[in-house]
Amino acid sequence: KAGVTQTPRYLIKTRGQQVTLSCSPISGHRSVSWYQQTPGQGLQFLFEYFSETQRNKGNFPGRFSGRQFSNSRSEMNVSTLELGDSALYLCASSSTSGGGLRDTQYFGPGTRLTVL
């Protein structure tokens, strides 16, 4: 089975721009979650989607948003980029049982975003 895929792998943007990251979960997985990883803050949860609905949200400003499509693929968007948004953005998917975040999370390789 193919793993979680994320595109693009690397992205360079300037302050004030917006960016969209994409995540394709493992086939059959319906829950997709997003995490931000930075050296200072470590791994922080952004949000989780299940069946096209946001079920859980972390403590991030409204500039961070996401959505999920009917095929379970997910996108996250960051508007009005700030220097502090530079990070590795990781997507994870979990199994079909519907347990969502309680099920084992399988991570993609991440998208490395650099904001200049």
Partner 1 sequence: GNSVTQMEGPVTLSEEAFLTINCTYTATGYPSLFWYVQYPGEGLQLLLKATKADDKGSNKGFEATYRKETTSFHLEKGSVQVSDSAVYFCALTPSSGNTPLVFGKGTRLSVIA
* Residues at the site binding partner 1, with contacts judged by CB under 8 A: 4, 6, 33, 35, 42-43, 45, 48, 55-56, 58, 88, 90, 92, 99-102, 104-110
Within 13 A of 113's CA, how many CA atoms are on the CB side? 30
C-beta of 23: minimal distance to partner 1 in Å? 11
C-beta of 16: minimal distance to partner 1 in Å? 28
C-beta of 55: minimal distance to partner 1 in Å? 6
Residue among 9 and 15 whose Cβ is closer to partner 1 = 9
Give the integer Cα–Cα distance in Å for 63 and 85.
Answer: 10
94 with 103: CB under 8 angstroms? yes
75 with 23: CB under 8 angstroms? yes
